[in-house]
Structures are given as C-alpha cells and as structure tokens.
Amino acid sequence: MSTTFIKRMILTSIGRKAVMAVTGLMLGGFMLFHLGENMLLFKGEVAFNNWVDFLMANPLLPLMEFGLMLIFLAHIFTGTWVRLEDWLNAPSGYEARNWQGGRTIGSATMLYTAFLILAYLAYHLLTFRFVDHSIGFYQMVTSAFRSPVFVAIYVGGAVALVLHLSHGLQSAFQTLGVNHPKYTPFIKIGGWLVAITMVGFALISVYFLMNLDIKAAEAVYQVTVQ
C-alpha cells in the first residue's frame, strides 16, 4: 500500500468517509462475534472459561488486539473529522431542516453515542482485560454483573451501541456506494436487526444481576437429587 494512497484516504473527504465506513462495518462484525462469545456465559463456567483460555493461549492474540485497536482508532479519528466537517460546512438552519426531513435519533446522536461507547469500552477494558484473572474469567465477569452500578453502565453502553449501529451500518453501505431502491430497504432492516441484537449485552448483565443463573443451577441440582 503506497503512502500516496494512504494520504488520499486521510486527506480527502471521500477517503475519510470510506475509511469510516469500512472500519465501522468491521467493528459491527466484531461486536456480533463478541456478543456470541458472551452468550457462552449462559452455558456455564466450564464452557466460558474454556473458550477464553483458548483465546488467551493463541500466540496471535496480541497481534489481533493491536489490529483491532488500530481499527477502532481509525474509525474514531475519521468519524470525528467527518462529523466536524459536516458541522462547519452545514448551511444555517441545516439541523432543523434535517429533522423535518426524517432524520432519526440514531443519525442525530452518532457523535455522542460514539463517545459514550468509547468511555464504556475504556471502563470495560479496565474492568476485565487489564486486571488479575486468577479467580477465573467466568467468576470475574459474573461477579461484576452482581453490581447494580456496573450493570447500569453496561446497559447504557448497550443502548448507545443500538443507537449508533441503527444508523451507522446502513450509512456505511451507502457511503461505499451500495445504495439502490431495490436493496436499500433490506440493508436498513439488516442494520436495525444487527443493532437490536446489541441488547443482548444488556440482557446478559441483567440475567446475572437478578441471580437467575443461581436459580437455574439450584433447579438442576434438585432434579439431579430427585
């Protein structure tokens, strides 16, 4: 990849929007994958810890984490730049007219939800990634979900994800030129479906906050004893 191409992608408006779109789609895919990982919490301690141990034993994990960090930074950098350009170049009264034209809450709050997601991500990493894992990953995660404060933060992060992706995914396809009367409605529906699945993060945390896992374990134990 030549330096000229990289400069063109960064220093031109079209290039920055393309980078924002591609990295956004990649991050959306990652969030779906990460949600699938978290769903293993429902299968119990052994299943979840085995999966995390498998990931931690992968020698390529540091490289994958570094690549993911670069994708996040590229998306944040280009997204913020593009949004600031929109504000500076927007004609007077543009915001009000845009709302009248059918603007959604997702599109109106993209920058704000982006910063909320960034703050949540930092808190998430400090809570789970850069801490002592000696008690086991399952116990560490589920113990955090017993805290109403943490669950409230987690639910807030999930809501921000839903709003951000509800507009971001369909906007990314449009930026990349995938915009056709025949396909656009399906892209919008698909974007909303992916966005709504992010509610799963909130449901997982509430599940453990309400100790439903303990009740389920007790039910299994009673059946076994009988």
Per-residue pLDDT tens over the stretch 191-210: 999 999 999 999 999 999 99
Query: pLDDT tens digit string along 158-196?
Result: 999 999 999 999 999 989 988 778 888 888 899 999 999
CATH no. for residue 97? 1.20.1300.10
Domain count across the chain: 1
User: For 1-52, what is each residue's pLDDT tens digit?
Assistant: 556 666 666 778 888 899 999 999 999 999 999 999 999 999 999 999 999 9
Note every long-range contact of 124-131, with CB atoms under 8 Å and residues 24 or more positions apart, other chains counting.
124/157
pLDDT attached to residue 106: 85
Nearest to 170 by CA among 136, 203, 193, 148: 193
The residue range of the domain holding 214 is 3-225
Position 99 scores a pLDDT of 46
pLDDT of residue 93: 54
Model confidence over 131-153: pLDDT tens digits?
778 888 999 999 999 999 999 99
Which pLDDT score, from 0 to 100, does residue 94 have? 52
Res 101: pLDDT: 43
pTM (predicted TM-score): 0.84
| pLDDT single digits (tens) 57-114 | 999 999 999 999 999 999 999 988 888 887 777 665 555 445 444 578 888 888 889 9
Please choose, from the candidates 194, 188, 195, the residue with its C-alpha nearest in 3D space to the C-alpha of residue 163: 195
Confidence of residue 224 (pLDDT cuts 50, 70, 90): very low
